[in-house]
Amino acid sequence: MSYTEEVYAKVVAQNPNEPEFHQAVKEVLDSLKVVIDRNEEEYRRLSILERLVEPERIISFRVPWVDDKGTVQVNKGYRVQFNSAIGPYKGGLRFHPSVNQSILKFLGFEQIFKNSLTGLPIGGGKGGSNFDPKGKSDREVMAFCQSFMTELSKYIGADMDVPAGDIGVGGREIGYLYGQYKRIRGQYEGVLTGKGLSYGGSLIRTQATGYGLVYMLNEMVNAKNDTISGKTIIVTGSGNVAIYAVEKAQQLGGKVVAMCDSNGYIYDPAGIKLDIVKDIKEVKRGRIREYAERVEGASYTEGQGIWNIRCDIFLPCATQNELDLEGARILVANGCKYIAEGANMPTTLEATNYVMENGVVFMPGKAANAGGVATSALEMSQNSMRLSWTAEEVDQKLNRIMKDIFHKVDDASRRYGLEGNYVAGANIAGFEKVVDAMKAQGIV
């Protein structure tokens, strides 16, 4: 058995009931095999991979809060501090009923490589709760956030661990979390990113993941002497990442025809009217089906199956494992040429292998959606310097970072004779910097 296979077998044996974590580790270790094989003896002696797959620390805690009926509710809270070799832990908080330790470990593990790819000094972490903000009043969301932060505040800090948003954690939640941190710790510091502009947030942070995804897509398409302009595009989800991916894709001349939420998908052959989606999702916190009720010529289909619509470009921006092998086969059969992941691990391993074997240019989330965390790191810089950059300055930096990531990923894939395999390229390029720092810092 190779060293990477041995470590993967140990991960499965020692972390039972964590399928998402196993999946993320497998994808990374499989692509690192070519790197490890060149110097296996040293990696084994230093137990580099065993250290890489074991979080430095996992904090798990009780979150009690009182709902509007006066009943006490209890949720689970977590923070996975995975790897701080290259900087303070950095990664979002997810509030969703599906949240468990496996999902947060997969996200924290991915985050190590993603953060490394940005070129910025940030380590990997992730956290969250099985709390569901959907259908809760503002007061209930505030009560939950305050209780969550009362415990989390003991373990985070501007130079220690800097959480941000993720699914279910947007501007409203970050505001309540920040207020409670300040109240408990008495420090006005950059301990969270994704903050509002009136209290230390960065311009373009809200748009960053979606915009960054499309900047990356632009590089992928240009490398094939092609353009986004005129292409038919599907963007899954209708949350933060999806909405701003649509906005930038439309600015670059792409025609986005479909979006979804967890209940179903909309198809608008004339092109999605984003102001209506924003009104439904950002203002009214409604359901995507309302779009078809408001826009003539648009249709709504309940359930999964958005990939049945023909497209040139597919941008999955909802959640993990949303695109499986069956969906991938349909996309390929209908002529889809590019897939860039806005969400984290939205494509199953089988589907990823299938699309890559069938000529689709595929960019994994850890490279394609790194614009969010990169701009979070820019927010940290502005907080430390006590100044704010203009939207143009931040957007230019974001664009440059996404171009750099593309070239790092492309270069790493070529160096190992895997040209065009951006999954391998992203894992290898992310790994190289982290492992260098881990070696330099000794056995910690």
Residues taking part in catalysis: 126
Residues between 142 and 201 with contacts to ligand NDP, criterion CB under 6 A = 165-168
Query: Does the footprint of ligand NDP cover residue 133 (CB under 6 A)?
Result: no
Rounded Cα distance, 382 and 264, in Å:
40
Residues between 237 and 256 with contacts to ligand NDP, criterion CB under 6 A = 237-242
Query: Does the footprint of ligand NDP cover residue 124 (CB under 6 A)?
Result: no
Other beta carbons less than 10 A from residue 180's beta carbon: 19
The candidate with the shortest Cα–Cα distance to 4, out of 38, 20, 414, 18, is: 38
Spatial CB neighbours of 200, under 8 Å, sequence gap ≥ 6: 188, 190, 379, 382, 383
The candidate with the shortest Cα–Cα distance to 427, out of 403, 409, 401, 405, is: 409
Record the tokens describing residue 429, joined without a space. Answer: 């390029």
Rounded Cα distance, 63 and 85, in Å:
30
Query: Does the footprint of ligand NDP cover residue 140 (CB under 6 A)?
Result: no
Residues between 21 and 60 with contacts to ligand NDP, criterion CB under 6 A = none
Cβ distance to ligand NDP smaller for residue 35 or 266: 266
Q: Which one of 1-9, 79-87, 258-266, 411-419 is the stretch in contact with ligand NDP (CB under 6 A)?
A: 258-266
State the nearest-atom distance from the C-beta of 292 to ligand NDP, in Å: 15
Cβ distance to ligand NDP smaller for residue 174 or 313: 174
C-alpha of 56 from chain center: 21
Cβ distance to ligand NDP smaller for residue 31 or 193: 193
Cβ distance to ligand NDP smaller for residue 179 or 264: 264
State the nearest-atom distance from the C-beta of 198 to ligand NDP, in Å: 20
Query: Does the footprint of ligand NDP cover residue 379 (CB under 6 A)?
Result: no
Record the tokens describing residue 332, joined without a space. Answer: 């390929």
Backbone angles phi, psi at 362, to 5 degrees: -125, 125
C-alpha of 120 from chain center: 16
- Do the Cβ atoms of 229 and 252 come closer than 8 Å? yes
State the nearest-atom distance from the C-beta of 24 to ligand NDP, in Å: 12
State the nearest-atom distance from the C-beta of 364 to ligand NDP, in Å: 12
Query: Does the footprint of ligand NDP cover residue 372 (CB under 6 A)?
Result: yes
The residue from 116, 129, 193, 319 that contacts ligand NDP (CB under 6 A) is 319
> 């910097």: which residue's tokens?
433
The residue from 342, 364, 425, 430 that contacts ligand NDP (CB under 6 A) is 342
Cβ distance to ligand NDP smaller for residue 4 or 102: 102
Record the tokens describing residue 188, joined without a space. Answer: 């006005």
- Partners of 175 in the beta sheet? none
Query: Does the footprint of ligand NDP cover residue 141 (CB under 6 A)?
Result: no
State the nearest-atom distance from the C-beta of 365 to ligand NDP, in Å: 6
Residue closest to ligand NDP (Cβ): 239
The residue from 149, 234, 317, 409 that contacts ligand NDP (CB under 6 A) is 317
The residue from 140, 268, 312, 322 that contacts ligand NDP (CB under 6 A) is 322
The residue from 150, 262, 334, 399 that contacts ligand NDP (CB under 6 A) is 262
Spatial CB neighbours of 393, under 8 Å, sequence gap ≥ 6: none
Tell me the site size for ligand NDP, rule CB under 6 A: 24
Give one DSSP letter per residue of 207-224, joined into a string: HHHHHHHHHHHHHHHHTT
Query: Does the footprint of ligand NDP cover residue 20 (CB under 6 A)?
Result: no
The candidate with the shortest Cα–Cα distance to 165, out of 212, 126, 118, is: 126
Query: Does the footprint of ligand NDP cover residue 218 (CB under 6 A)?
Result: no
Cβ distance to ligand NDP smaller for residue 313 or 367: 367
Cβ distance to ligand NDP smaller for residue 135 or 442: 135
Query: Does the footprint of ligand NDP cover residue 343 (CB under 6 A)?
Result: yes
For 179, how many CA atoms within 13 A lie in the half-sphere containing its CB?
14
Query: Does the footprint of ligand NDP cover residue 318 (CB under 6 A)?
Result: yes
Spatial CB neighbours of 384, under 8 Å, sequence gap ≥ 6: 158, 190
The candidate with the shortest Cα–Cα distance to 341, out of 278, 409, 400, is: 409
Cβ distance to ligand NDP smaller for residue 175 or 237: 237
Using CA atoms, how far residue 115 sits from 112, 229, 342, in Å, is 5, 30, 15
Rounded Cα distance, 179 and 196, in Å:
11
Name the residues that contact ligand NDP, by CB under 6 A.
165-168, 209, 237-242, 260-263, 317-319, 322, 342-344, 369, 372
